Amino acid sequence: MKNKIKTLRKQSNMTQEKLSKLCGVSRQTINCVENDKYDPTLELAFKISRALDKNVEEVFMYDKIS
């Protein structure tokens, strides 16, 4: 699983802190998801994507391998 959170977040001039508040989660959570530390919940994936004004599949790329 790959994601474009960092890129899209910077395009929107947002910090991890700001994004985390928009999503209602902690900054560590955003940091970990952004850096592929773990798989987010589907609901969180939706929240992040919406905060970045994108569809889930525009933010997260599923690569069948692992």
Partner DNA sequence: TCATTGTGTCCAACGTTTTGGACATTTACA
Partner DNA sequence: TGTAAATGTCCAAAACGTTGGACACAATGA
Which of 2, 6, 15, 39 touches its own copies by CB under 8 A? 39
Closer CB to DNA, 37 or 53, in the complex: 37
Closest CA to 59 of 26, 27, 40: 40
Q: Decide if residue 8 touches DNA (CB under 7 A).
A: no
- Residue from 19, 30, 45, 52 touching its own copies (CB under 8 A): that is 45
Tell me the C-alpha distance between 39 and 35, whole Å: 10
Residue 64 binding its own copies, by CB under 8 A: yes
Which of 1, 22, 25, 32 forms a contact with its own copies (CB under 8 A)? Answer: 1
Residue with tokens 């798989």: 39
Scanning the structure block, which residue is given the tokens 């928009």?
22
